[in-house]
Amino acid sequence: MELNDIEHGRRSLDEVKKPTLEGTEYSRRRGANREVKKMSLNRVSLIGHLGQDPELRYLPTSGQPVTGFSIATDESFTGKDGNRQERVEWHNIVVFGKLAETCAKYLSKGRQLYVEGRLQTREFESKNRGGKRQRAEIVAQRVQFLGPRPEAPAGGEAEEPAASEEVPF
């Protein structure tokens, strides 16, 4: 039976037999009648450098903050000719909510960061040529700033001042 049968009402999910390990060599083991579940994982982890200052926008429908930026990762390898080669890959990152505001406030071009999220392909209408286009993006769930800020002194990372701190003079 195919998914189409369920979608078009020809069969219900109750009529679908769920595969089990019963009748196999595994059936002699404990828990043999458990369902076989397929796993999937959509997780991306990157460490790279910010290519441009982030842009903070707000979604027109909900007003939710969203920030977009790109980071570069590099890879060194030996080519077929035996020469050392480098390849740079650019990754589009999208961040939502409070994390988006934090990224827009503290990140600037050149900063090294760790990004963890999920890969998502977005479809949109092209402004120039018309027609539909696709863009692969990483929807970040975690962004960690690495290394010193570009304007920080070489001795180490200077901390961001807290919003409630007052300067004594």
Specify the CATH number for the domain of residue 104: 2.40.50.140
pLDDT category of residue 154 using cuts at 50, 70 and 90? low
Count up the domains in the chain and report the number.
2
pLDDT of residue 156: 47
Asked if residue 98 and residue 17 are part of one domain, the reply reads: no
Cα gap 117→114, rounded to integer Å: 10
Measuring CA to CA, which residue among 135, 141, 132, 140 is closest to residue 121?
A: 135
Cα–Cα distance, 110 to 114 (Å, whole number): 13
Q: What's residue 31's pLDDT?
A: 59
Note whether residue 62 is domain-resident.
Answer: yes
Same domain, 56 and 138: yes
154 domain residue, yes or no: no
Residues 12, 83, single domain; the answer is no
Does 153 map to a domain? no
Query: Tell me: the pLDDT tens digits for 55-104?
Result: 999 999 999 999 999 999 999 999 889 999 999 999 999 999 999 999 99
Same domain, 31 and 92: no
Alpha-carbon separation of residue 131 from 7, 122, 135, 137 (angstroms): 29, 14, 13, 19
CA torsion sign for 33, 35, 38, 44 is: negative
- Is 69 found in the same domain as 35? no
**What residue numbers bound the domain in which 117 lies?**
44-146
For residue range 121-135, what is the model confidence (pLDDT) as tens digits?
988 887 777 788 888
Residue 1 pLDDT more than 50? no
